[in-house]
Amino acid sequence: MKFDTPATTNPIDQLKVVGKPTDRIDGPLKTTGRARYAYEHHDEVPGAAYGFVVGSGIAKGRIASMDLSAARAAPGVLAIVTADNAGTLGKGNFNTAKLLAGPGVDHYHQAVALVVAESFEQARAAAQLLRVEYAASPGVFDLAGAKDTASVPRGSRIPDTRVGDFAGSFAAAPVQLDASYSTPDQAHAMMEPHASIAAWEGDRLTVWTSNQMIDWSTGDLAKTLGIPKSQVRLVSRFIGGGFGGKLFVRADVVLAALGARAAGRPVKVALARPLMFNNTVHRPATLQRIRIGAGRDGRITAIGHESWSGDLPGGKPEMAVAQTRLLYAGAHRLTATRLAVLDMSEGNAMRAPGEAPGMMALEIAMDEMAEKLGLDPVEFRVLNDTQVDPEKPERAFSQRRLVECLRLGAERFGWNRREAQPGRVREGRWLVGMGAAAAFRNNQVTKSAARVRLDRRGIVTVETDMTDIGTGSYTIIAQTAAEMMGVPLERVVVRLGDSSFPVSAGSGGQWGANSSTAGVYAACVKLREAIAQKLGLAPGDASFSDGMVRAGNRSVSLAEAARSGELVAEDAIEFGDLGKKYQQSTFGAHFVEVGVDALTGEIRVRRMLAVCAAGRILNPKSARSQVIGAMTMGVGAALMEELAVDKRRGFFVNHDLAGYEVPVHADIPHQEVVFLDETDPISSPMKAKGVGELGICGVGAAVANAIYNATGVRVRDYPITLDKLLERLPASA
């Protein structure tokens, strides 16, 4: 499949608006506080009551009894929702029936009740009066302890793979690496909590919520409540961060709907910060084993990657081996994924699921192997590049410029000044080192639709249920419509995040920008045809620019085309078997310099560079923001982020922003981002790809490799905290 517009050049290729570093059109709303988030729709939902969620005090077992009498008698209380009075909850695609416990309890802080009252304070106070008695059961809370019981996950998207004779080739390889790595549980820790307002009008439900995937969640909520999807409307116009934690319906949505039905009025529910960490989803911990065999010439002959993670019964694994199937050449290959049953809150998608933790291990292993071979780490990666899928050599990459990213990054970062021998560079008390890692994330595409309107003023309005999680969706969609219809950006209105609009890709998996703008492109092509027909012009001959439609000697304003009434067009982009014909991926390279205090082991990141090859960059300004945000998350994953598990009682101990550490301004130095000038006509008519998750993939390993280069201490278990360095720092330090 190749996306070209017949009889004309692709209008997007004019690049009058698309591809320009454009300020976010929603920026003024957010900086002035006029952007309304899920909990703030006061004008649209007057008189809303407040719900407070009560979480389970045990990790596994059942509710033996629940005394509601004191809470019901408390001031302002309107209703209390429990499993006993909620009715039967259906099981949506993402196991939404489990969002309200009773009588069984599946994990700590699983919701057991919602108290609804006139004010938030009254609901919170009454919630403390609930008397819940539990009958606890033994649970499994330790991934390492459960590793031996892990099994092949059912219905896995990434089954075990074997190509050639891995075992024989690895055993015969003159140079071998066999090492184990671990990554911890991590929290999304987004700024805006999970929050919803629900209101019933007869048998129709409207929920204002914070959700990345409107259509998924509309269907899931309808299934959960046992009502037709047509009777549910979800609205999510602005989202204060999601990172995958808001891909699905969570307890706030379901309980707000149940609470509103029980109270007979709209109800607002926001999960308290301590509840978010154990009640919702998290990135699951992994244990990983990587084996690489190579000839003395540095070429990989065998590569194997095995990963273990845990989840609730029926859950899914962390796909940490995904990138190893595609990133480097090697005739003999093995990947395996195993899933252990853990009685912890659900493990699920967090920014770049699979590749983010997988690259944290793989890219350390590549450095370790380069050292065994006596090769520069960048050159070792270049030497083992491949232009075809190593498992399916008949399938080429639509674009693959990893080598260029590595080479350019090395030049820009001054990699030639790196001292190959670890622990040799010192500035005062600081040991200084450089590290590098490849970046990889698959480019997913998904069907996406939009509706485009042209009114008699010449204003173009775009409607699609695409969401903006702080990524700039409003702006790139406006840029797409402006380019296609030949109008300035200020003549475009974008309306997002409403299930009454055509179904888009949604925000997740790095597929949102490319797919949603391609859907807008398709709708605009249809509107251009309608306008040309209205004006008596041949669509193939018409050009759109400066608010005018031109063909031959004729020139007519867009407003004239809609003089007798608004013109509306709706269409969708579908990608067919594109994924079968081509391997669609994005590539990059990360370079990091760190300083390690020789006396205390304190680690300071000094500078960072990312070079990205991700198709056409639709808005370099917002794309850069996405990448530096991802780089920052990568530093957090490398140095500080870890949900500490109480292995006796089965919960995350540091379940707030005081105990769960994330990077702050003082932790992050100068960051540079370079985008290769690239287009991918196979990917979409926008010739773009995703970039927001590519920026995190490989960062953690680049930091780890820099620490090793600075100190000579190799840490394979994240996060790399000073206690893992201190006793192993060189005696000369």
If you write DSSP's letter for every residue of 182-226 in order, what string do you get? Answer: EE--B----SSPSEEEEEEETTEEEEEE--S-HHHHHHHHHHHHT
Helices and strands in the chain, H and E counts: 17, 31
Domains of the chain by range and CATH? 11-35+446-574 (3.30.365.10), 38-138+192-279 (3.30.365.10), 351-443+581-728 (3.30.365.10)
Q: Measured between alpha carbons, how far is 460 from 353 in angstroms, rounded to an integer? A: 37
Residues 441 and 586 sit within 8 Å (Cβ to Cβ) = yes
**Which helix (H) or strand (E) covers residue 548, if one does?**
strand 548-551
CB 96, CB 254: distance < 8 Å: yes
Q: Beta strands 104-105 and 492-495: pairing type?
A: unpaired
Cβ–Cβ under 8 Å, residues 362 and 299:
no
CB-CB neighbours of 40 under 10 Å = 16
Cβ distance 465 to 504 under 8 Å? yes
Tell which residue, 173, 170, 171, has the closest CA to residue 304: 170
Alpha-carbon radius of gyration of the chain: 27
Give the Cα separation of 715 and 481 in Å (integer): 49
Between 251-263 and 214-225, two packed helices, what is the crossing angle to 10 degrees? Answer: 50
In this structure, the strands spanning 175-183 and 286-294 are: antiparallel
Closest to 486 (Cα-Cα) out of 549, 542, 537, 540: 549
Residue range 550-590, pLDDT digits in tens:
998 899 999 999 999 999 999 999 998 887 889 999 999 99
Measured in degrees and rounded to the nearest 5, phi and psi for residue 138 equal -60, 140
C-beta of residue 444 within 8 angstroms of C-beta of residue 690: yes
CA 308 to chain centre: 21
What contacts 607, CB < 8 A, 6 or more positions away? Answer: 592, 593, 669, 670, 671, 672
- Taking only the tens place, the pLDDT of each residue in 474-490 is 999 999 999 999 999 99
d(CA 149, CA 227): 39
What are the tokens at 530? Answer: 């309608």
Cβ–Cβ < 8 Å for 596, 707: yes
Q: How far is CA 339 from CA 154, 285, 306, 653, in A?
A: 9, 11, 11, 23
The yes-or-no answer on residue 641 being catalytic is: no
**Which residue stretches of 43-153 are H helix?**
69-72, 120-127, 143-146
Unique residue bearing structure tokens 């809303």: 48
Q: What tokens does 208 get? A: 């204002």
pLDDT of residue 8: 45
- Measured at the CA of 522, the angle between CA 517 and CA 526, to 5 degrees, comes to 140
How far the first Cα of the chain sits from its last, in Å, is 59
C-alpha pair distances (Å), 419 with each of 273, 425, 432, 435, 726: 45, 7, 10, 11, 22
Q: Identify the pLDDT of residue 91.
A: 87
Query: What is the Cα–Cα distance from 293 to 175, expressed in whole angstroms?
Result: 6
Cα–Cα distance for residue pair 358/186, rounded to 1 Å: 14
Q: Which residues of the chain have pLDDT under 70?
A: 1-9, 156-157, 732-733
What does the pLDDT read at residue 6? Answer: 41
Strand partners, 625: none
